[in-house]
Structure 1
Amino acid sequence: MRLPIAGLVPMTTLDYPNHLACVVFLQGCPLRCGYCHNPNMIPPRRGEPQEWQAILEFLSTRQGLLEAVVFSGGEPTLNADLSDAVKEVKALGFEVGLHTAGPYPDRLTQLLPHLDWVGLDVKGRGKAFDRICGRPGIWQLHARSLEALLDSGLNFECRTTIHWKDFQLADVERLALSLADCGVRHYALQVARSEQCFDPTYSQPVANTPSTAQMNALVSRLKPHFDQLELRH
């Protein structure tokens, strides 16, 4: 088992809905989002067996205390050994969540029977997805991942990180409505952080930043289209 561990949050109530969880961050991501605030996790590397063994030893001390383990990144599905790791975590009695942008739909589809919840990042709508993530051809792969999630019946959330260098307010509304039309029921809008961005220009102020009133009005318009809609800062 060679999972490149990039970090561990030993306890959180924020990363898996209604569960006390820990988050295991895996190294490596094929995307190059300008607003990324974990650029140190982008370069891939091969993990050493002792890295995952240390995580298992930690989890063995948290049985009965934590309810779930979330794999995040980076892009966790970049790593071929993730499926075996998920099965080992399930065998310890934890629920398993996954944060992914969906660039590897075949690998995600293989994982779905072993997952309990997924947070799917939606970078943008159609070709804007590729522009925002800095890689061509990703939006079609992401669309396949979204389709697999919708077909699976698994509990999942779509979320979009909004940096106003990438979006106009109308772009956010069109993206949200297109997701609702696809059948997405849980959606979150996340305001991007401006510190330590992968692209330093994303740390600069943006002139077209909407006001709080405009954002609240947008959320009010969108809420009827979802069972759950959150605005996260």
Structure 2
Amino acid sequence: MHALRVGGLTPLTTIDFPGRLAAVVFCQGCPWRCGYCHNPQLIAAGAAPERPWQAVLDFLARRRGLLDGVVFSGGEPTLQAALPEALREVRAMGFETALHTAGMYPERLAAVLPLLDWVGLDIKAPAQHYDAITATPGSADAVQRSLDLLLASGVEHECRTTWHAGLFSREELDRLGDGLKARGVRRWQVQECRQGQRQ
């Protein structure tokens, strides 16, 4: 089994895992090409890891009793086959676990949901705009399946949408929120796309 490919580590966050003090592990690699990507340095799956996974485990061992949890972000964490084992290792150390995902791999998400205490799921746009934003045909269908799995799991979660009027209209954003609420999403956050992120 290959070790998790780590693109970076934030030692402490109070905002990425609601109600917990946490560290954030940034996972290397993402197959989508969103023009406003906040972490473009993490897109290349084959890039050299920023640090070994064992170094992250060593860091976490020193933070027992100080941190509540660990967030796996990216990039796209579910891209990596090593994610389930990494989650099990972190949970065995006594930490709660959270995942930030764009929902592009529903089956892989289903496999790790039992290992998670919280999920932040990106809902990038209304379905008709997904392919243009992600540069990946069929991306909306995968996300809808992931949302269904997340809602059925009972795992605590939040959906997030990064919005700019150049991506889709305010009216479409409002309809997206109404649709998520109708499906059972109770927490939805809208993040304004910063101009410096757009390409």
1:54-107 Cα deviation digits (max 9, x unpaired)? 000000000000001000000110000000000000000000000000000000
Secondary structure of residue in 2 paired with 1:29: coil
The answer to whether the Cα contact below 8 Å between 1:4 and 1:45 also exists between their aligned partners in 2 is no
Looking at structure 2, the residues matched to 37 and 152 of structure 1 have their Cα atoms a distance apart, in angstroms, of 28
The answer to whether the Cα contact below 8 Å between 2:77 and 2:100 also exists between their aligned partners in 1 is yes
Q: Give the partner amino acid of 1:123.
A: K
The answer to whether the Cα contact below 8 Å between 1:10 and 1:22 also exists between their aligned partners in 2 is yes
The answer to whether the Cα contact below 8 Å between 2:96 and 2:116 also exists between their aligned partners in 1 is yes
Change (3 A) 1:116 1:47: farther
Looking at structure 2, the residues matched to 96 and 119 of structure 1 have their Cα atoms a distance apart, in angstroms, of 12
Looking at structure 1, the residues matched to 3 and 191 of structure 2 have their Cα atoms a distance apart, in angstroms, of 32
Secondary structure of residue in 1 paired with 2:133: helix
The answer to whether the Cα contact below 8 Å between 1:70 and 1:99 also exists between their aligned partners in 2 is yes
Q: How does 1:16-27 map to 2 (within 5 A)?
A: 16-27=17-28
Equivalent in the alignment of 1:166: 167
Unaligned runs of 5+ in 1: 204-233
- Say if 2:118 is the partner of 1:79: no
Looking at structure 1, the residues matched to 29 and 177 of structure 2 have their Cα atoms a distance apart, in angstroms, of 28
Equivalent in the alignment of 1:104: 105
Unaligned runs of 5+ in 2: none
1:37 Cα shift? 2.2
Q: Give the partner amino acid of 1:125.
A: P
**Identity of paired residues, percent?**
51
State the number of aligned residues: 197
1:98-124 Cα deviation digits (max 9, x unpaired)? 000000000000100010000000011
Using the size of structure 1 for normalisation, the TM-score is 0.81
Secondary structure of residue in 2 paired with 1:164: coil
Equivalent in the alignment of 1:187: 188
Equivalent in the alignment of 1:35: 36
Looking at structure 1, the residues matched to 78 and 48 of structure 2 have their Cα atoms a distance apart, in angstroms, of 14
1:135 Cα shift? 0.9
Secondary structure of residue in 1 paired with 2:179: helix
- Say if 2:150 is the partner of 1:154: no
Equivalent in the alignment of 1:68: 69
Q: Looking at CA atoms only, which structure, 1 or 2, has the larger radius of gyration?
A: 1
- Say if 2:114 is the partner of 1:113: yes
1:140-187 Cα deviation digits (max 9, x unpaired)? 111110000010011000000112220211011011111111110111
Secondary structure of residue in 2 paired with 1:109: helix
1:46 Cα shift? 7.0
The runs of at least 4 aligned residues of structure 1 exceeding 2 Å deviation read none
Using the size of structure 2 for normalisation, the TM-score is 0.95
